[in-house]
Structure 1
């Protein structure tokens, strides 16, 4: 089964998620108390509670009492209901061709004036903390001794290019892949600035992770945002649905734009263990209906216009060519700039 959506990022953000065992050790009393404190902050008294078909519980929370506004920098924040500006050439709609095949997002029908927030349990915080310590969605970079177990197949901007990126978008196909324990696979986009402790990274896409989500469903995930050129806030949109935004103070280093962007796949596993499949799970399949791809990829330039990539400013990168591939990178009639990617995974190295 294939899923396809247009991801629109007008500048991107990563959020840090802060497992009673973490990394094979038992939580200390202090850590356990900290988790209890976080739960009280995250789980507000709901106006309405909804349980989805896949077993998730969502609470409808007063929009003015959502946890994001508990941040000291955001307590006087005036909530935006719509972006105050859009990049030129973007109308938020997809073409007739795209609408015939796009996935329908499962929605939670909360009353007006409330926002749906997935209920958080202590085991969720324990699991997420362990996941983030093991996999750390840190950056677009080659496999190194400092980040073992990560394998990339991406189209990325060259570091030497002096331009700033103020948005990113692309249609992505994703498959319901099966992953093993401690494996994660995603088809996603990145928008970043800085390195190391100075890194601000915004990421979004489709992910399968049995450890993170406790199932093998393909899930929409975000670690990122989009920039509103008037307020500086970052909006996240899927097809014509505006999911929401991140307040600009969360990623201050992205205020002037991102220095790096990328589209593609990321497969993660424990070091020296088999890696999961990526994309469609095939090497350049003959049946083009089974290929994983990104198409109509674009960025927002410093003049706030959507533009197609300048191929001299981008490159393809594969960290493990025996397990994954990426091909080609170019313009194909109505599909715009397009590339295919993926692979079966396996024993891919460190």
Structure 2
């Protein structure tokens, strides 16, 4: 019998007591540990096969029908979709970029999940405490058109697109910036819908956070159906996102990553709404990773369309009087290729024509809420570089 999401959310709320400022952790009591272990039993479903990676974490092969997603009450009678009913033709020509290499995830050759299973990164007790801490620190996008979020400690450098659409893609340049405890640095594509009180959004990209994936860049998703209030979850750590891939696990660490004036690597990320089911799919290159069922959202949000897309970076630091971390490569946008971080191949699915198109350069709004610390430039060229951005900046912005 499937467990109640209410129990999971109530238990999650108890973990909030375990976070502390200035990077010192509270030791849970025996009673609190029992609650956490109970929660772990909900999150970590029985594994059919398991593998330990060279980084020390464990990947489990879980029965696709028994994954955590289906503990969500809205997915009680959900029928699993193994792949989208259609895949958008994101590239309209053969002029693909040879300047950087895609998919910097080198799956270990001895990791192979049986048919009918999906690959999930196992959550530990320590992970659970850290992840709830990260959620407590905050993960939300404040854009040039939305003033409601408390963005203390957050810095953004984004290209914003405000037109109704059915999805977007981009090649997200992967770096491995150093961050301190209670900080994160990320790059992503985000799709959003709704107004300031009903904002619903989904994001995918890479993140460096000691609370989530050690001190290395790792694959992540995040979604909310309530403006980051009642709902909000990384990866497969709460019910909702349906994993279908048996090749790539959310939370897996990127390897290799880009280097200054050296080889560049990127993630080919697309998020789009299926024409038939209206589910929102996340694909990494040509691999469907999974989807957010339409039933998770409402008509004021993402049930029928999106009304905004963001490409770019975000950094965060929790502690006051601490300097903010590196965004991207640590260099400003004007440093250019092989030095500054980029997202190229910017595409959207137009809601009216339903065709894949490059957004007009005039429709890409550059937004940096701390332009002296981090900046962004929108640019145009050819092929994958027809619409692209450079963004980023060094550590050193003081959090007041």
TM-score, structure 1 as length reference: 0.84
Q: Secondary structure at the match of 1:258?
A: coil
**Unaligned segments of structure 1, at least 5 residues:** 1-15
Superposition deviation, residue 211 in structure 1 = 2.7
C-alpha separation between the residues in 2 aligned to 1:177 and 1:101? 19
| Corresponding position of 2:355 | 305
Superposition deviation, residue 33 in structure 1 = 5.0
Superposition deviation, residue 157 in structure 1 = 2.3
| Corresponding position of 1:282 | 331
Paired residue for 1:109, among 107, 112, 115?
112
| Corresponding position of 1:127 | 130
Q: 1:1-350 counterparts in 2 under 5 A?
A: 18=12, 19=15, 21-23=18-20, 32=33, 34-87=35-88, 89-90=89-90, 97-98=97-98, 101-107=101-107, 108-134=111-137, 136-141=138-143, 146-158=150-162, 163-213=163-213, 215-224=214-223, 226-252=272-298, 253-270=301-318, 271-284=320-333, 286=335, 288-302=337-351, 303-327=353-377, 329-334=378-383, 335-350=385-400
Superposition deviation, residue 339 in structure 1 = 1.5
**Count of aligned pairs:** 327
Q: Secondary structure at the match of 1:347?
A: coil
Q: Is the 8 A contact 1:94 1:239 kept in 2?
A: no
| Corresponding position of 1:7 | none
Superposition deviation, residue 126 in structure 1 = 1.4
The structure with higher relative contact order (CA 8 Å, sep 6+) is 1
C-alpha separation between the residues in 1 aligned to 2:292 and 2:274? 10
Q: Is the 8 A contact 2:61 2:119 kept in 1?
A: yes
Query: Aligned Cα RMSD in Å?
Result: 2.8
C-alpha separation between the residues in 2 aligned to 1:42 and 1:317? 37
1:101-154 per-position Cα deviation (integer Å, ceiling 9, x unaligned): 2234243421111111111122222111111111x2223436888220000011
Superposition deviation, residue 313 in structure 1 = 2.8
TM-score, structure 2 as length reference: 0.74
Q: Is the 8 A contact 1:151 1:267 kept in 2?
A: yes
Q: Is the 8 A contact 1:226 1:245 kept in 2?
A: no
Superposition deviation, residue 47 in structure 1 = 0.9
CA distance change for structure 1 residues 59 and 145 in 2, over 3 Å: closer, same or farther?
closer
C-alpha separation between the residues in 2 aligned to 1:123 and 1:93? 47
Q: Secondary structure at the match of 1:288?
A: coil
Superposition deviation, residue 188 in structure 1 = 1.0
Q: Is the 8 A contact 1:297 1:337 kept in 2?
A: yes
- Higher mean alpha-carbon deviation, 169-178 vs 18-27, is at 18-27
1:77-105 per-position Cα deviation (integer Å, ceiling 9, x unaligned): 21111101233x33799866459622342
C-alpha separation between the residues in 2 aligned to 1:156 and 1:193? 13
C-alpha separation between the residues in 2 aligned to 1:218 and 1:95? 28
| Corresponding position of 2:240 | none
Q: Is the 8 A contact 1:294 1:340 kept in 2?
A: yes
- Higher mean alpha-carbon deviation, 313-322 vs 89-98, is at 89-98
**Unaligned segments of structure 2, at least 5 residues:** 1-8, 224-270
C-alpha separation between the residues in 2 aligned to 1:282 and 1:100? 18
- Higher mean alpha-carbon deviation, 308-317 vs 136-145, is at 136-145
| Corresponding position of 2:230 | none
CA distance change for structure 1 residues 95 and 219 in 2, over 3 Å: closer, same or farther?
farther
C-alpha separation between the residues in 1 aligned to 2:167 and 2:358? 12
Superposition deviation, residue 186 in structure 1 = 0.7
CA distance change for structure 1 residues 202 and 254 in 2, over 3 Å: closer, same or farther?
same
C-alpha separation between the residues in 2 aligned to 1:94 and 1:128? 41
